[in-house]
Amino acid sequence: MKRLDEILRSAEKTKNTAWAMAVYGALLNELRRMHSEGKHAPGLVPEAVELADDFPTSGQLCIHTDADNHVDRDLYFLSPEALNKQYDARSDIFAATAIFYLLLSGKLPWEGCCDCVSSLRQKMIMLKLQRKPAALDLQLIPDVLHPIVQKGLAIDSSERYDTAESAMKDLESIDPARVVSAAEHESPSAAEPESPHQDNKHQPMPSYSERGEEKSTFVFQKGSGDGFKDIAGMNELKHILSDDVLFVMRNQELAQRYRIDPLNGILLYGPPGCGKTYLAEKFAEEAGTNYILVKASDLGSTYIHGTQERIAQLFKQAKKHAPAVICLDEFDAMVPDRSSRAGEHTANEVNEFLSCLNNCSHDGIFVIAMTNRPDKVDPAVLRSGRFDKMIYVPLPDKDTRKQIFSIHMQGRPYDANALDMDKLSDLSDGYVSSDISLIVNNAARKAARANQLITEELLEESIHHTEPSVKADMVRYYNQIHLQMERGRDARPVIGFC
């Protein structure tokens, strides 16, 4: 027999979806047996579960529970009523589903939710009082399993499965092979013959980083827009990307003949809402390559070293989909300055990033990182040439604001002759691109309610009622940061909306 928590901590921690379903099914089966004997399983946590050596073939496991043996972490597995030591079939199902959630996602349920409340107990009570569904992060879980996980973890016990049989019935209605195919569908590379997920739930299990659900998290796709044509302004930046990056991507033989090193990546920095993310996505469209937009939270994992493995997995997936563009949003949170953050894990994660970024262009990967806080990014990343260019994306200038108004007005009912774009652009001085998008949307909503065209008056009124999201002191701060960044590296031109 082997304890479930030990399996999770060991190299083998890393089972796939089918394995997680097998464990959950066996847990429900054992609970059904216990409930039929009038017993319950208070304190059901991974430490209390022992799997037979031949699991999942035998489907055998034991539950050793003890209601008084909780550490604080175990509260994650406790239903709200079990917090008051009321144990019944529903509270057992809650605990079993919490284990299932952990196996599927690598996270404990509601980890990080309701951060305004200090203790987990308070969080759970708060959720219970509000009688609202908990903010589960279902992204890492295959879609077909969402209803089961949500019903098994319902805060309101009357909405939860009332018997282990009913949960088992729903679970058994799902073919594990189908769940795997859903993950494979999102990640074509997983369909390769050596894939450990192929239609057999008794296959040896892959490593954590090979899990199907992890793969489905990193979905590479092609954009459907018009690439650079959709971007207002940023002409110099578009030139640099076309000449230095796209040219090499599109003419690899020529680049090799001339021994031109492909660019590894660029870092876009500047105030929020000025189009860094937009530009990155439009670049990928222009290049016609697969791309993925990754936020810092997409890389988070509660497994020890899990985040590190997910970073490696991201680059591995990108290599399989090459040529590919990885857009890393909130880069300061992914690669924070190690000198200002304690903890070995952060250092390990930053090191992993550094090693993945090293020459990733040779694997057909181009990285665009974005940050509002370049001063918080670990200097080693910026210093070492892993990013070939650091480009400041400032507030849009007058001409660009005009173009952004035009882009956002496209396809909406308005009389072009009745709009004074110069005036709108003047009135919106100090507004960022996302503010202009909001201004146009608000005016359009008002016009729609009155069933009329979008007029100059409505747009001016909307500007008047919208505060610029980047305040004057923030602009000063960004100007300073920009100067510092330029001093830190070779002098570079200010590039952006020009």
Residues within the interface to ligand ADP (CB under 6 A): 231-234, 272-278, 370, 404, 407, 433-434, 437
Q: Considering the complex, state which of residue 42 and residue 233 has its C-beta at the smaller distance from ligand ADP.
A: 233
Tokens of 49: 């579960």
Contacts (Cβ under 8 Å, ≥6 apart) of 22? 55, 56, 59, 176, 201
Q: Considering the complex, state which of residue 102 and residue 234 has its C-beta at the smaller distance from ligand ADP.
A: 234
- Asked whether the bond before 323 is cis by omega within 30 degrees of 0, the reply is yes
CB of 54 to ligand ADP, least distance (A): 52
State the residue number with the nearest CB to ligand ADP.
Answer: 275
Give the closest residue to 348 by CA, choosing from 295, 299, 298: 299
CB of 419 to ligand ADP, least distance (A): 17
| One-character DSSP codes across 167-198 | HHHHHHTS-HHHHHHHHHHH-GGGGSTT-TTS
Secondary structure (3-state) at 386: coil
Q: Considering the complex, state which of residue 22 and residue 370 has its C-beta at the smaller distance from ligand ADP.
A: 370
CA–CA distances in Å: residue 45 to residues 27, 144, 298: 11, 24, 26
Q: Considering the complex, state which of residue 122 and residue 297 has its C-beta at the smaller distance from ligand ADP.
A: 297
CB of 226 to ligand ADP, least distance (A): 11
CB of 40 to ligand ADP, least distance (A): 50
Q: Considering the complex, state which of residue 17 and residue 371 has its C-beta at the smaller distance from ligand ADP.
A: 371
CB of 224 to ligand ADP, least distance (A): 15
Residue 380 Rama label (left phi>0; alpha psi -120 to 50; beta): alpha
Yes or no: say if 174 and 201 are a contact pair by the CB < 8 Å rule.
no
Q: Considering the complex, state which of residue 182 and residue 393 has its C-beta at the smaller distance from ligand ADP.
A: 393
CB of 436 to ligand ADP, least distance (A): 7
Give the closest residue to 278 by CA, choosing from 452, 436, 484: 436
Q: Considering the complex, state which of residue 277 and residue 428 has its C-beta at the smaller distance from ligand ADP.
A: 277
CB of 281 to ligand ADP, least distance (A): 8
Q: How far apart are CA 271 and CA 268, in angstroms?
A: 10
